[in-house]
Amino acid sequence: MSDCIFCKIANKEIPSEFLYENDYVFVIKDINPKAPIHLLVITKEHFANLNEISDEKVLGEIFKGIKEVCKELGIKEYKTLINTGKSAGQEVFHFHAHILADK
């Protein structure tokens, strides 16, 4: 989507450091971290939120991405958060999972 900030980052229209990438997702640091480590696992394809994703391959790759980026960065203990919908706290309507950790 042309006016979507995470699509622009996915398409490299807005430069951003990718900490991890596979064919389905990429991982960046949250711009406004709420923990010492705060990452976002973002789908390359635009989905408004989890409810819009039906492809089991994509669903699997999201969790694979979460595990692999944590393994690569040596993050052993972490919280994973997915906000679905405005009243649940979703602010950016392009699927992303938060990874929060202390170290």
Query: Which residues carry out catalysis?
Result: 96
- 80 touches, from ligand 5GP, Zn ion, none (C-beta below 5 to 8 Å by class): none
The single residue listed with the structure tokens 């705060």 is: 38
Binder among 48, 50, 92, 100 for ligand 5GP (CB under 6 A): 92
b/e sequence 64-99, b meaning 16+ C-beta within 10 Å: ebbebbbeebebeebebeebeeeeeebeebbbbbbb
Instruction: Report the candidate in 94, 32, 42, 33 with the shortest Cα–Cα distance to residue 65.
Output: 42
Give the shortest CB-21-to-Zn ion separation in angstroms. 16
Give the shortest CB-51-to-ligand 5GP separation in angstroms. 14
Chain residues in the site for ligand 5GP (CB under 6 A): 5, 28-32, 40, 83, 89-92
